[in-house]
Amino acid sequence: MACPRRKVAPFLVALILVSATIECAGVGVPITGARDTQSASIARNLGEDGWTGILYPRGDFSPDGRGTALMEFPLVSALGALIRAIAPAIGEAAYRIPSMAFGVLAIVSLFLIVQRVAGEPAALLATSLFALSPLQLEMSASPRPDEAALALTLAAFALRDRHRSIAAGCLSLALLAKTTFAFALAPWVFLDMSGGGGTVRWRVSNASVSFSPSCFRSRSGTDTPHM
């Protein structure tokens, strides 16, 4: 049974507001934890040293001062430093704001993906479980780049059919923010090979063979057993 479209948008807005309210409860809490403090230190050093260091990010990794480490492009840290430069009164809470914005993008993108595959009721359920999960609430209020990479990856798959160039840009930014999200290239390539339908076709001898995640089919007239 499909949900009336006029009820979907208010539900999404309410869901985003509820998750944002929960996240805001921890925005003013001091940043702790090894990874969070490292990401915050990169943003702080960018604000203090100037934007010339964006390609050579520096964090407080060593006891005797700032050091460098092999890391991704500091997309989220740079956005946090920019927000703090515009509104210095916010303090270190500015480093959490980019992830909160990317969290909204992740919620909307996931809804669009599931809606296309399984319909609006399933999309509303999946989005609710995702938006209110403890891990999502934690990561969307963190100065780390994980939420940005997740949101940009989801946006890439939500837009790939209608706005392919924008989708490719989102996926590129996701890889730039967090290189471990390179795993997203596998389903992207699979969808390209299958023409978006989840089935990859190629020629074997005189028969056209199709591959899908569930079975093999031969168009020469002989069906092979399901794998």
At residue 46, the pLDDT reads: 85
Residue 166 pLDDT exceeds 60:
yes
- pLDDT bin (cut points 50, 70, 90) of residue 183 is confident
Residue 5 pLDDT exceeds 90:
no
Q: How far is CA 29 from the centre of its chain?
A: 24
Pairing state between β 207-211 and 216-218: antiparallel
**Cβ-based burial of 134 (10 A; exposed 0-12, middle 13-18, buried ≥19):** exposed
At residue 213, the pLDDT reads: 46
- pLDDT bin (cut points 50, 70, 90) of residue 62 is low
Higher pLDDT, 175 or 30: 175
H/E segment holding residue 204: strand 200-204
Q: What is the pTM of this model?
A: 0.76
pLDDT digits (tens, 9 = 90+) for 210-223: 444 444 344 444 44
For the record, the structure tokens of 24 come out as 């805001």
Residue 183's alpha-carbon distances to 157, 187, 198, in angstroms, are 13, 8, 17
User: Are 152 and 102 in contact, with CB atoms under 8 Å apart?
Assistant: yes
User: Which backbone phi and psi does 33 adopt, to 5 degrees?
Assistant: 90, 145
Other C-beta atoms closer than 10 Å to the C-beta of 41 total 21
H/E segment holding residue 67: strand 65-67
Average pLDDT over every residue of 32-41: 84
User: Are 126 and 12 in contact, with CB atoms under 8 Å apart?
Assistant: no
pLDDT digits (tens, 9 = 90+) for 91-128: 888 899 999 999 999 999 999 999 988 888 899 999 99
User: Are 46 and 77 in contact, with CB atoms under 8 Å apart?
Assistant: yes
For the record, the structure tokens of 30 come out as 């001091």
Residue 43 pLDDT exceeds 70:
yes
User: Which backbone phi and psi does 163 adopt, to 5 degrees?
Assistant: -135, 75
Other C-beta atoms closer than 10 Å to the C-beta of 64 total 5
CA distance 10 to 3: 12
Return the C-alpha torsion angle 184, 189, 195, 201, nearest 10: -130
